[in-house]
Amino acid sequence: MSERLEDIAVAMVAEGQGILAADESTGTIKKRFDSISVESTEDKRRDYREMLFRADQAMKDCISGVILFEETLGQKAADGTPLVDLIKAAGAVPGIKVDKGAQALSGTSIEKVTEGLDGLRSRLAGYYEQGARFAKWRAVITITDDTPSWNCIKANAHALARYAALCQEAGIVPIVEPEVLMDGEHSAHTIDRCYEVTEWALKTQFAELYDAGVNLEGMVLKPNMIVPGQNCSSQASVDEVAEKTVQCLKACVPSLVPGIAFLSGGQSDIDATAHLNAMNASYDLPWKLTFSYGRALQAAALSAWQGKQENVEAAQAAFAHRAKMNGLAATGKWSKDMES
């Protein structure tokens, strides 16, 4: 594969394929394992992720890239093969989560800013040597009656832009992820409020990327969809989510960006697929619209696996099904009756 940033970014949003987010932190993967009563040991985490990366049909046909946690980037499969090599052998691009998590933003009670810029330049050089060709940094923005603040929007956009510039300097494609969270107070978090905040965040983000000299053709955007909060009394139809999301993106995202890989953000598996499909089926778009899902790709597989070797085949089949459904949605060719 070419090492040009632009070519890697295009490969990450290949037709009918999307990105598997397998970058759960040790704390997050423990919660996932707790849900199936499996102890989160290094070997169990490796076994689980190896199982996903060896699901040949899913990986070769539907997965263009895999975001890894630092532990996984250096891990070897049970037979000694580096996990990165399994991903490359399937034709997917290995990537790495590089942020150090969202921490409390000083002077606020609920808002957060993502940390991890200190020492990032040298860490990126090491990740490149280990085979990573893209990176991910997630910022979180919370909607309440009086948030987000300009300080929160600005601080996160600035950090994401500095991260993106450092990635490109290191030959690594940055995934830029400003996430407006779905969880919020029902009174404040309508679909229109989500649109307003997401537009603000994205317009600020692209101004910061411009100031930092980031090459837009060598990046991928990972935004939230425009959805009402989970506790909002007025939920939206699939068509309304698609319409508002496309409208917001067209207002904010330059056409030079090769692709937009949505996060699922707490949506159900089917909702995340249906919304993506509706956008691709109904609109003429300047960028590829695809998926970068974690839980929405893995939940069924995790449930089928239960930490047992004898369940590996069933878990891989569950993962392959969700990957295929989302691959179809990325081309606007999914329908709900395919789920059975």
Please give the angle made by the CA atoms of 320, 326 and 328, to the nearest 5 degrees: 100
Q: Is 311 helix (H, G, I), strand (E, B) or coil?
A: helix
Closest CA to 1 of 107, 121, 82, 90: 90
Copy the structure tokens of residue 188.
């404040």
Higher pLDDT, 231 or 32: 32
Average pLDDT over residues 101-112: 94
Q: What's the pLDDT at 154?
A: 98
Rounded to 5 degrees, φ, ψ at 257 are -65, 125
Determine the number of helices (DSSP H) and then strands (DSSP E) in the chain: 13, 10
pLDDT score, position 2? 62
The domain that contains 235 carries what CATH number? 3.20.20.70
Instruction: Examine the pLDDT at 1 and tell me if it is beyond 70.
Output: no
Catalytic residues: 177, 222
Domain that holds residue 44: 5-339
Counted domains in the chain: 1
Helix axes 26-34, 42-53, angle to 10 degrees: 80
Amino acid, res. 278: A
Whether 120 contacts 98, CB under 8 Å? yes
pLDDT tens per residue, range 221-255: 999 999 999 989 899 999 999 999 999 999 999 99
Looking up tokens 């975001």, which residue turns up?
67
**Looking at the DSSP assignment, which residues form a beta bridge with residue 76?**
82
pLDDT at 186: 65
